């Protein structure tokens, strides 16, 4: 026989763990019988057991009415069971909740113990309907004679006001009175409720500021002070006068309190409430930073976290105060706790300026290098892991935080973002930054090669003074066999070799010995690289040889002929392995180079050096070749093929392109961008004769369709021959058709409808059932409604740009900048000011996002123009980081493809070609053709 107590149910569950479902099924059947009993004790015991099973996941919705019966029991211990079951099982969709309204009203007016139970249950099962119906009784409970009832009523008011905010005006005066209650518990509960409610509409709670300020200055309850300070932090943005009033008491609390939670809440309120701004907030800001710096030195990880979280919010207003603890913050970048490391990175990123960028980047880069020299565990340490002695702890090898792939990726991306911020505004030495980018490619061991490539190419294009050093570093990178060997590994950054080859090819005039670089650009080992990088290698080889050959022709000496032949033969031999590449891009470039170098070798083999006495050109031979010459039969004293390749790519210098360059291209004279390229054709109008011929054809039966079609075809051919003969004899075209009348238009529409209806059943004819747009006649244009849009707001708002942070430390000014950065980019010849467009700022202010990167990479040889290549944008100051040491490494985006762009010519011939070439660019307002 089943026992009727909850204790027996629990003992049975523990004894039947192997067959728990069967035991619970039997228990539920027993409860179904007990809950129907007229004895309220048995019914309440069944509801209590059912509530326990409900907490284990079994449904008790079928017993909702029985729960209401137990709630109405006269005995207090049974009523408690009923309210407990209702709080656990009732939801807003429970249908028996409408039966509890009168029950709750009755209990709220009963004995104090029943009132307490009813208030507790109401806060769990309240719905908008219950809140509306019971709000008068609940507001009356705020003036109950017993303090614990008043406190419960105040707490229940929060749930009621959340479900039914319309009663807030009636209850606000009562809540305000409770701030002066004689019982501290009631005051604390009222402050807690007001603090939570103020987030919805803070302006409604501004009248409570005097009462709250009185509590702030007189109360000693730390938990209530925390709630009051939070409430003031919500109100101060809507009442600026509170800032000056709150500064003295909050400063006193920060200086005297020993409670860490209260101290942090005071600092947080000072930040979000704007109390640190202005001259009066400097002393308070220094006090806050000093207290937070003490948290950084504490062994408690939680204090370190909240200190970094608060410091990153103080940096925008007082960066010089936070910079005093720069070394302490940087030491947290390598903390064992991932959350502390990420917050330290946020704080360091906010501190960056021209004065401290170099030490910060060097320190961040050192965290990536440290893991390279991790000592391996000794033999005894390894053995101790498998056979530990009794009582001795197991020795485990230390794992540095910087070994986490996810963290290394975040750290590398943050280094790139800090360097490229505001178009490299914080960098004073670009040679140093190029070295940092190359070092990062060596030690990152994560997929950031695409970002490093973009910045290297961007710096080489924008900063002329850094090109020679960049070429020197890229030559070393191309000749490094270890980097090429590791490029195919995970995180090997092979995209950096793309940038190295492109820079050496584009600025090959900075090379000391260009011909020696060809052996590295065409070595067979590069076949393991991605195909888009191999294509850039081949294109760079052509540029390097073309520049070297042209330079050699300017100072030609016949003794150089064997060296040139040897270089050409070596290139042809190396190109043979690239011609058979499975990639079409590599194969095409290799085939082009093979044909060009074959032509050069043929020209070199037929070249015959001339004696010095036979030379006719002297020093002007190079200028005469390819240009005007007074003697047509004159021949240069060097192989003419040496000038074959350089004009293919070196006609124009590749510079940065301005953001508004495309919009500033002047419209040529005689070009109307609003005119149709292909004129619109009007719908042909049928004449009366054609209509008469079509009418009987449409009424023919389907049986004679083939015969009639043959006759019509022959008739049409004969008529066509007659028309042609008539045209030849008369020498003029037939007269244009007359204008169509309203009757003729109606007849034509009727015939068209009949034809479509006839063809609707034809399975070989597709009918377009879509409704055609209504066409307005020219005479009906006045009926179009006109709406004035002058008062509407603009569709796009210009992006607001936060001002740059002031200098951090009071250190001497940086040295004069020796590098000139092309920030604006190149504009086309005869550029005009583009019309202002919504959402586009020109020129780009400091602090906005950098321009678009170089091209899309489909043609890896020549970019679209040296545009502003930007690294990953600076992450948000307060992101949510869910990183783990064992989390798999996220991938980086695909490398940016680059397409060949044609340069604008300056001659008359190129001008005609440029005039014929049309480029369509989408804009906000439509399509622009240039």
pLDDT digits (tens, 9 = 90+) for 58-92: 999 999 999 999 999 999 999 999 999 999 999 99
Q: Residue 928's beta-bridge partner residues?
A: 921
Return the higher-pLDDT residue of 508 and 813.
508
Q: Where are the domains of the chain?
A: 1-90, 219-332, 352-370+403-512, 524-607+641-648
Please give the pLDDT value at position 885.
Answer: 41
Q: What is the mean pLDDT of residues 901-921?
A: 41
Query: Between residues 485 and 723, which one has the greater pLDDT?
Result: 485
Which is more confidently placed, 84 or 848?
84
Q: Is the pLDDT of residue 719 over 70?
A: no
pLDDT at 801: 37
Q: Label residue 611 by pLDDT band (50, 70, 90).
A: low
Q: How confident is the model at residue 711 (pLDDT cuts 50, 70, 90)?
A: very low
The token pair at 197 is 């409610």
Whole-number percent of the chain with pLDDT over 70:
71
Give the per-residue SS3 of 442-469.
HHCCCCCHHHHHHHHHHHHHHEHHHHHH
Phi, psi of 135, deg, nearest 5: -60, -40
Across the range 276-292, mean pLDDT stands at 88
What are the start-end ranges of the H helices in 420-524?
A: 430-443, 449-462, 467-478, 481-486, 495-506, 514-521
- The predicted pLDDT at position 683 comes to 62
The pLDDT assigned to 704 comes to 45
Q: What is the mean pLDDT of the chain?
A: 77
Band the pLDDT of 279: cuts 50, 70, 90.
confident
738 or 604, greater pLDDT: 604
Does residue 651 register a pLDDT over 60?
yes
- Return the bridge partners of 463, or none: 821
Alpha carbons 376 and 381: distance in angstroms, whole number: 10
Q: Higher pLDDT residue, 887 or 687?
A: 687
* Percent of the chain as helix, strand, coil, to the nearest 5: 60, 0, 40
Cα separations (Å) of 753 from 120, 445, 685? 75, 72, 16
Q: Residue 273 above 90 pLDDT?
A: no
pLDDT of residue 520: 93
Give the Cα separation of 51 and 28 in Å (integer).
Answer: 11
- Comparing 854 with 479, the larger pLDDT belongs to 479
Q: What is the rounded distance in angstroms from the CA atom of residue 587 to the CA atom of residue 561?
A: 30
Mean pLDDT of 332-353: 90
- Residue 152 or residue 336, greater confidence: 152
> Do 471 and 504 touch, CB atoms closer than 8 A?
yes
423-439 pLDDT, tens digit each: 899 999 999 999 999 99
pLDDT value at position 702?
41
Looking at residue 491, what is its pLDDT? 86
Percent over 90 (pLDDT), the chain = 48
pLDDT tens for residues 402-411?
678 888 999 9
Q: What is the mean pLDDT of residues 751-763?
A: 81
Burial of 89 per CB tally in 10 Å (0-12, 13-18, 19+):
buried
**Claim: this prediction has a pTM higher than 0.85:** no
Please give the structure tokens belonging to residue 809. 């430390």
In this model, does residue 302 exceed pLDDT 70?
A: yes
Residue 797 has pLDDT above 50, yes or no: no
- Give per-residue pLDDT as tens, 378-406: 555 545 555 544 444 444 445 566 678 88
CB 215 within 8 A of CB 248: no
pLDDT at position 839, please? 44
Q: Lowest-pLDDT range, 109-123, 530-544, 757-771?
A: 757-771
3 state SS of 151: helix
Q: What is the pLDDT of residue 769?
A: 60
Mean pLDDT for the stretch of residues 3-22: 87
Tens-place pLDDT, residues 182-217: 999 999 999 999 999 999 889 999 999 999 999 999
pLDDT of 786? 54
Q: Over the stretch 128-183, which tens digit does the pLDDT of each residue have?
A: 999 999 999 999 999 999 999 999 999 999 999 999 999 998 899 999 999 999 99
Mean pLDDT of 845-873: 39
pLDDT of residue 333: 87
How far is CA 183 from each of CA 148, 173, 459, rounded to the nearest angstrom? Answer: 9, 18, 70
User: In residues, how long is the chain?
Assistant: 930
């Amino acid at each position: 026989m089943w026992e009727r107590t909850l204790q027996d149910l629990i003992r049975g569950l523990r004894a039947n763990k192997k067959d728990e479902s069967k035991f619970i099924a039997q228990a539920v059947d027993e409860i179904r019988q007990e809950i129907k009993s007229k004895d309220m004790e048995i019914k309440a015991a069944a509801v209590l057991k059912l509530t326990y099973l409900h907490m284990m996941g079994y449904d008790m919705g079928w017993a909702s009415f029985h729960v209401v019966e137990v709630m109405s029991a006269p005995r207090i211990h049974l009523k408690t069971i009923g309210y407990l079951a209702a709080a656990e099982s009732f939801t807003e969709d429970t249908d028996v909740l409408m039966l509890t309204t009168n029950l709750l009203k009755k209990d709220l007016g009963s004995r104090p113990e029943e009132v307490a139970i009813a208030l507790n249950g109401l806060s769990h099962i309240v719905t908008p309907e219950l809140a509306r119906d019971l709000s008068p009784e609940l507001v009356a409970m705020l003036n109950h004679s017993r303090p614990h009832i008043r406190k419960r009523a105040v707490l229940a008011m929060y749930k009621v006001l959340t479900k039914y905010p319309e009663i807030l005006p009636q209850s606000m005066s009562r809540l305000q009175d409770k701030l002066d209650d004689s019982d501290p518990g009631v005051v604390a509960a009222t402050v807690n409720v007001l603090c939570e409610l103020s987030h919805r509409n803070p302006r409604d709670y501004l009248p409570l500021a005097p009462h709250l300020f009185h509590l702030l200055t007189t109360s000693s309850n730390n938990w209530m002070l925390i709630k009051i300070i939070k409430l003031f932090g919500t109100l101060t943005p809507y009442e600026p006068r509170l800032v000056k009033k709150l500064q003295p008491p909050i400063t006193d609390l920060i200086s005297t309190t020993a409670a860490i939670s209260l101290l942090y809440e005071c600092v947080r309120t000072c930040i979000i409430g704007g109390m640190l701004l202005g001259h009066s907030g400097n002393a308070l800001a220094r006090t806050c930073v000093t207290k937070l710096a003490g948290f950084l030195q504490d062994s408690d990880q939680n204090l370190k976290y909240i200190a970094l979280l608060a410091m990153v919010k103080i940096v925008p207003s007082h960066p010089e105060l936070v910079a005093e603890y720069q070394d302490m913050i940087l030491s947290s970048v390598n903390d064992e706790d991932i959350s502390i490391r990420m917050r330290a990175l946020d704080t360091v990123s906010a501190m960056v300026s021209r004065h401290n960028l170099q030490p910060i980047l060097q320190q961040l880069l050192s965290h990536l290098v440290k893991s390279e020299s991790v000592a391996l565990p000794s033999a005894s340490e390894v053995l101790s892991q498998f056979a530990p002695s009794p009582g001795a702890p197991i020795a485990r090898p230390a794992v540095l935080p910087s070994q986490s792939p996810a963290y290394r990726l975040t750290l590398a991306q943050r280094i790139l973002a800090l360097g490229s911020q505001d178009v490299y505004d914080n960098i004073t030495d670009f040679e140093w930054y190029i070295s940092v980018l190359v070092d990062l490619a060596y030690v990152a061991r994560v997929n950031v090669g695409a970002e490093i490539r973009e910045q290297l190419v961007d710096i080489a294009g924008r900063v002329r003074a850094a090109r020679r050093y960049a070429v020197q570093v890229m030559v070393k990178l191309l000749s490094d066999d270890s980097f090429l060997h590791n490029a195919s590994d995970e995180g090997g950054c092979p995209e950096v070799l793309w940038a190295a080859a492109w820079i050496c090819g584009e600025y090959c005039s900075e090379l000391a010995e260009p011909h020696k670089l060809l052996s590295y650009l065409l070595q067979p080992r590069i076949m393991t690289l991605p195909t888009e990088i191999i294509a850039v290698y081949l294109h760079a080889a052509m540029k390097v040889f073309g520049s070297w050959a042209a330079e050699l022709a300017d100072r030609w000496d016949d003794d150089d002929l064997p060296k040139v032949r040897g270089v050409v033969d070596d290139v042809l031999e190396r190109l043979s392995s690239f011609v058979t590449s499975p990639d079409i891009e590599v194969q095409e470039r290799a085939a082009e180079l093979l044909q060009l170098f074959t032509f050069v070798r043929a020209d070199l083999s037929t070249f015959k050096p001339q004696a010095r006495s036979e030379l006719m050109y002297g020093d002007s031979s190079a200028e005469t070749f390819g240009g005007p010459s007074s003697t047509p039969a004159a021949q240069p004293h060097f192989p003419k093929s040496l000038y074959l390749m350089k004009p293919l790519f070196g006609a124009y210098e590749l510079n940065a392109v301005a953001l508004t360059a495309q919009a500033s291209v002047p419209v040529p004279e005689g070009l109307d961008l609003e005119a149709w390229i292909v004129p619109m054709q009007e719908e042909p109008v049928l004449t009366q004769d054609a209509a008469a011929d079509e009418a009987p054809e449409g009424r023919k039966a389907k049986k004679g369709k083939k015969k009639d079609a043959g006759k019509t075809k022959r008739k049409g051919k004969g008529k066509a021959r007659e028309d042609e003969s008539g045209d030849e004899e008369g020498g003029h075209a037939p007269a244009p058709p007359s204008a169509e009348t309203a009757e003729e238009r109606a007849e034509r529409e009727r015939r068209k409808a009949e034809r479509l209806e006839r063809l609707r059943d034809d399975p070989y004819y597709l009918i377009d059932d879509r409704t055609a747009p209504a066409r307005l006649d020219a005479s009906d244009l006045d009926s179009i409604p006109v709406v004035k849009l002058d008062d509407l707001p603009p569709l796009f708002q210009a992006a607001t740009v936060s001002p740059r942070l002031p200098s951090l430390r009071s250190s001497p000014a940086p040295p004069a900048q020796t590098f000139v950065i092309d920030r604006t980019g190149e504009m086309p010849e005869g550029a005009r000011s583009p019309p202002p467009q919504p959402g586009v700022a020109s020129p780009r202010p400091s602090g906005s996002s950098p321009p678009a990167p170089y091209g899309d990479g489909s043609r890896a040889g020549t970019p679209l123009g040296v545009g502003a290549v930007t690294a990953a944008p600076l992450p948000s100051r307060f992101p949510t980081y869910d990183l783990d040491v064992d989390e798999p490494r996220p991938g980086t985006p695909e490398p940016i493809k680059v397409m060949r762009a044609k340069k604008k010519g300056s001659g008359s011939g190129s001008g005609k070609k440029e005039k014929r070439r049309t480029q369509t660019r989408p804009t906000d307002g439509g399509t622009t053709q240039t």
